[in-house]
Chains A and B, each alone.
Chain A
Amino acid sequence: MFQNRAEALALTLPAAIFAALVFLLPVAILLSEGFRSGGAWTLAAYTDFFSETLNRTVFFRTFRLGLEVTAVSAVIGYAAAFAIVNLPPKGKGRMIGLITLPLMISPVARTYAWIVILGRTGIVNEAITGLGLSPEPLRLLFTETAVFIGLLQLFLPLMILSLISALENMPKDAIPAARVLGANWFQVFWKVILPLTKEGLVVGGTLVFTGSLTAYITPAILGGSKVLMLETLLYQQVSVANNFISASVIAFILIVMSFAANILLKRLATARNGR
């Protein structure tokens, strides 16, 4: 397509310069703050951060919730994506439209809807008290459960879309062939579908996990400071304490976690194939 590599590089140069100036450079400056003290390179900011019980609690909570949301969205996502790819074209288009519809609505509006749904007078509590499962409405808002539900609803469409794309690229006769050879549905999924759709799972998993780590509005509204996450802690450090060193540490941790998740998912995917 291009005469030579120089031509291709020249075409990417404007975008690269723009990204370097408005994204990479500021991020590098911010992150370097966390490794410097009194003009010298040091890890003191990181040891200080992890020496506080609250920070450790928030770190593990964020990591755990990210994993839980990713795992559950993968399970639901595979089921939904498998059902959708087997629909006739018209039905498939409609379903994909329905899945993408929430992505066009602001996360703020979607999160506020959960306040209505999960509230003491919301439909969930009305159903619980109506069915006699509890005499009193349950406290669902401002809990880890609420944050989990909010994040799952926020990022599930990304997982489903990634898996739809992966399943559509899978050879159409792979599943019938496995069934003919005597594989049950679990074996079909584990030995055929999963290896053939690993790319979609890696992409979807990375999007959901990193999204769950970095989402601010949903944990802030549905969890508040009772369910502090790394991103709400970061906001607190910048906007209240004006502590950019701590903010830099949290930002770096979030970046490392995102990259680690991506690498880990890729490794798991290749390990599944025995390659």
Chain B
Amino acid sequence: MIWDEPIECMSLDDMKELQLKRLQEVVTTAFNKVPYYHKRYTEEEVYPEDIETLEDIEKLPFTTKTDLRASYPFGLFAVPQKEIVEIHTSSGTTGKPTVSGYTKEDLDTWSEVIARGLTMMGVGEDDIIQNTHGYGLFTGGFGVHYGGQKVGATVVPISTGQTLRQIELLKDFKTSVLIFTPSYGLHIAEELESMGIKPEDLNLNVIGFGSESWTDEMRQQIEEKFKTPAYNIYGLTEVMGPGVAMECSEQDGLHLYEDHFYPEIIDPNTMKQLPEGNEGELVLTTLTRVGMPLIRFRTRDITDIHHEKCGCGRTLIKMGKIRGRTDDMLKIKGVSVFPSQIEKALLSIKGVEPHYQIILTRPDVLDQIEVKVEASPDIFFDNVKELVGIRDKLAQAIHDEIGLRVNVTLVEPKTIDRVDSGKAVRVIDKRNE
């Protein structure tokens, strides 16, 4: 089933026409209503009337997280505060949080895009969605909530944490859809296992997961542990929240809702647009956002986009899964390394748990990488030689993946922090201490 067939299956020409019209409108509004854009565009001597084609978007300067912080809290709103009905913020771990304001209309758009995605996943009015995404300032909880209600499903707004309660409700409510971040999902799976509850004892039909980086191996583990397909959900607080792009039954990339969010891929070094199919940083422009238009926002997420008629019948542009973040990227001994590469290497070895931590130190002048990996019954042998062998095999797999030597340390189960809420701490960088 397709939620909004005219849009989701629109021809490329019609889509471009719609996008251009909306882009011109949003740039005009931003220039007229938001002091930040007015000042930036005046300084750069670029004006709304310069946008005659979609390609002209390249004339406009980028907006970054730093710009959003400089306008904290309400400096990017395009409407009076009384028209803003909801505010979310990012976590603010790296500085002042960035604020995202929504009008009534924006919330409608948000519900609409998630409704499209849930429909792709096969979720409908008979479903019970247990939403473990946190409610509160984090956008995850509410986004899924609004979209879930829009498709007519029953939403259980439990948030992250209280894992035993989650399991109780999974059983008692016969939850059919479970939404989680990959690390929290695996945590639930661990608890289920330790309680002797098998996936067959539950009524799950589908899983939606997002807001954290993951590898194919991690998805496989999730699907295996819950015995149900799991679909990726992409979004970011600044642009809207979850639902910017979602995965269809093909499980081969995400459909990006390009009638609301205009995507570009740029080379983060030259800042130039890259042709379709090339990997680079995703830049998004909100085409319909009323409360807080964002133009050419640098997401920091690394991926690629391409148009193709999808096996599911949709024509919406497809985005690859996020390969890393330009600000997650670690420079180790001059080599670019993404934590996801290390995760991929670890999970390529059977029996290895996806709980790991990367610790970077600089004892003298050279960087050292330690990767702590939790041992599991599957890779524990009553034999030092075999245990050392496993450790060396892990180190070799990582070396093959990133080209650097690392020290792998096997640690006892559940000794690496896995937060009952939010995201796991994958990297500890002590090099500047």
Asked if A and B are interacting partners, one says no
